[in-house]
Amino acid sequence: MRIDYHTHHYRCGHAVGSLEEYVQSAIAKGLTHIGLSDHMPLLHVDPADYYPEMAMPMEELPRYVEECLTLKEKYKDKIAIRVGLEGDYIEGYEEKIADFVHAYPWDYVIGSVHFLGTWDVTDFRQVHQWEGRSVIEVYEQYYDAVQKAAAAGLYDFIGHIDAIKRFGYRPEEDTTELEDRALAAVAKNGLAIELNAAGIHTAAKEMYPSRRMLERARAYDIPITFGSDAHHPDRVAQKGDEAEAMLKNAGFTHIATFTGRKRQQAPL
């Protein structure tokens, strides 16, 4: 399993390194596929009045795609580069997201839920927004958004499907039913999910999704891919061996790859 379909770079504002440095890191680590998948520009909040360094500026999007395509050609004899986008799902903005999705020759688009309204639940600067809230109600809102993302017809796989656990807030109530509804929506709409290694470095102290949810995804026969969610070139393919072992233990025998918005299955 020598792939990584979730990486970022300096344009998003909260990662370091150029696209080429991520490609070179992937080659040095022996990967066969590297996916470049930076954040979609902000749509529903004014970047000038919001938290800084959240996503790629609107004017950088065509430059990002152009550079990805240039690198894809430059390194075609060394590694398969896939041009992707992490397309935040924002309820009510589906048509504007679709404009991004249809405007460029993506190999894949990741559907990730970061925002509940204007609250980015994955931003460490916004953790205070948990104060005074019912944790289970936030989880319900989050997984409802995941279901809507899966049904939106915009994405190829769902990113870090249980990222709501990032800062260690977990309800006392059982969340199995919420998770299953989200997975059922993914399966019904023919999407894949990713095993995202970045959760290891958070208060959650485990990958996205959890082992339990990963096993449930296998029961739903949901295809799976792998992403490091690297924000530094050194973290390309991070925890790849551990992820492969997790997938095999959960019963997965294949890994999903993407070309031109079409999914293929490769043996683990």
The distance of Cα 117 from the centroid of its chain, to the nearest Å, equals 19
Gyration radius of the chain's alpha carbons? 17
Helix axes of 19-28 and 61-74: crossing angle, nearest 10 degrees: 30
Measured CA to CA in angstroms, residue 123 lies from 1, 51, 75, 118, 172 at distances of 30, 9, 34, 11, 23
State how far the Cα of 238 lies from the Cα of 228, in Å rounded to an integer.
6
170 phi and psi angles, rounded to 5 deg: -135, 130
Q: What is the reported pTM? A: 0.97
pLDDT value at residue 1: 65
pLDDT value at residue 96: 96
CB crowding 67-98: b at 16 or more within 10 Å, else e? bbeebbeebeeebbbbbbbbbbbbbeebeebe
- The series of mean pLDDT values per 10 residues for the chain, 268 residues long, is 94 98 98 98 95 96 98 98 98 96 97 98 97 98 98 98 98 97 98 97 96 97 98 97 96 98 96
